[in-house]
Amino acid sequence: MRHRTWAVAGGTAALVLLTATGAHAEGEGDIRVTKTVVNGGKNVIVGTKKVVDYPVAITIKDDSGVKGLTDVSTINTSSAEGGGFAEWVDSSCVKKSATTSVCTAIIRITPAWIPGYSDTDSNKAAGQWQINATVKANDGDYWISDRIALYKVKRASRLTTDATPEPVAKGAKLTINGKLSRANWEDLKYHGFTGQDVKLQFRPAGAAHYSTVKTVKTGDAGKLSTKVTVTKAGSWRWYFPGTTTTARIVSTGDAVTLK
């Protein structure tokens, strides 16, 4: 449901738009954002060192044609930690028709900046974020919106697998260890992620796909360990489906042969 309120200032009609989701927009004229896609529809994953650049493709329509973007920003939708460390660094527009263009903004997150933007815990910035943008038309129309898209910014994760002994006799027990860790945006290091359900998966030699054998919960420091009875050669790996704030991750498979 949309609620529209018209205000007149300086003889020009200005539209203020409120939506049921809490989004807010205002502007002049008929220019509109019709679609926004962040990072190709994928989550944005941020670790401890690598600078992350990701695209925000904004489809804009106006009867006079689109001039471009005049402002783009992004923040966490609920955390007081915000996300002020994300910066708009570049943009370009591609004209699709006389009235429509797709303008792509590049947002950059530099992990080294993250700790300085929180007085409590920078990790609270992970989760759901929103895109805000101001767009302008050739005839001077403009449109300001504080929530044209929602997406997830997640802490990067790591996962290892080690199966022993290798090789192993058919029918014998195989111990499969591992460790799940995730980026800590406070000290910019990886720490073990405890209390998480991680799936142990197996792919028989020559097969194309893995299947889940069991689910194991991570213990102290994110450590994993379980035993299985071996019936055939193949590769073992751990799979973590992720959370709302932590990225999914699949470990490299550890191939085990039979004696």
Convert the pLDDT of each residue in 172-202 to its tens digit.
Answer: 999 999 999 999 999 999 999 999 999 999 9
E strands within 41-165? 44-46, 52-61, 66-76, 86-95, 100-109, 127-137, 142-155, 157-164
Flag whether pLDDT at 12 surpasses 50: no
Q: Do both 40 and 53 map to the same domain?
A: yes
Using pLDDT thresholds of 50, 70 and 90, give the confidence band for residue 38: very high
Smallest CA-to-CA distance from 153 within 221, 57, 102, 82 is with 82
* Dist CA 70 CA 243 (whole Å): 34
8 Å CB contact between 125 and 81:
yes
Using pLDDT thresholds of 50, 70 and 90, give the confidence band for residue 23: low
113-163: pLDDT as tens digits = 999 888 889 999 999 999 999 999 999 999 999 999 999 999 999 999 999
Q: Is residue 205 part of a domain?
A: yes
The fraction of the chain above a pLDDT of 70, given in percent, is 91
* Dist CA 56 CA 247 (whole Å): 20
Q: Do both 149 and 171 map to the same domain?
A: no
For residue 117, the model assigns a pLDDT of: 87
For residue 24, the model assigns a pLDDT of: 63
Phi and psi dihedrals of 27, rounded to 5?
175, -165
Instruction: Choose the weakest-confidence range: 17-26, 110-119, 166-175, 206-215.
Output: 17-26
The CATH number for 249's domain is: 2.60.40.730
* Dist CA 156 CA 24 (whole Å): 31
Tally of domains within the chain = 2
Flag whether pLDDT at 1 surpasses 70: no
For residue 41, the model assigns a pLDDT of: 98
Q: Do both 60 and 81 map to the same domain?
A: yes
Q: Which domain holds residue 252?
A: 157-256
Joined tokens for residue 96: 């699709």
For residue 128, the model assigns a pLDDT of: 96
48-103: pLDDT as tens digits = 999 999 999 999 999 999 999 999 999 999 877 777 899 999 999 999 999 999 99
**What are the helix and strand counts (H, E) for the chain?**
0, 20
- Residue with the larger pLDDT of the pair 147 and 18: 147
> For the chain, what is the mean pLDDT?
91
Mean pLDDT across 252-258: 98
* Dist CA 33 CA 61 (whole Å): 6
* Dist CA 101 CA 94 (whole Å): 5
For residue 108, the model assigns a pLDDT of: 98
The CATH number for 49's domain is: 2.60.40
Q: Is residue 129 part of a domain?
A: yes
- Tell which of 98, 120, 154 closes a domain: 154
Q: Is residue 15 part of a domain?
A: no
Using pLDDT thresholds of 50, 70 and 90, give the confidence band for residue 15: very low
* Dist CA 66 CA 60 (whole Å): 7
Smallest CA-to-CA distance from 33 within 126, 173, 131, 120 is with 131
Q: Do both 182 and 99 map to the same domain?
A: no
Can you say whether residue 44 is alpha, beta or left, with left for phi > 0 and alpha for psi between -120 and 50 degrees? Answer: beta
Q: Do both 43 and 140 map to the same domain?
A: yes
Smallest CA-to-CA distance from 98 within 58, 56, 141, 60 is with 60
What single letter denotes the amino acid at residue 52?
V
**Sign of the dihedral through C-alpha 164, 166, 170, 172:** negative
* Dist CA 142 CA 58 (whole Å): 14
Q: Do both 48 and 102 map to the same domain?
A: yes
- Tell which of 135, 154, 173 closes a domain: 154
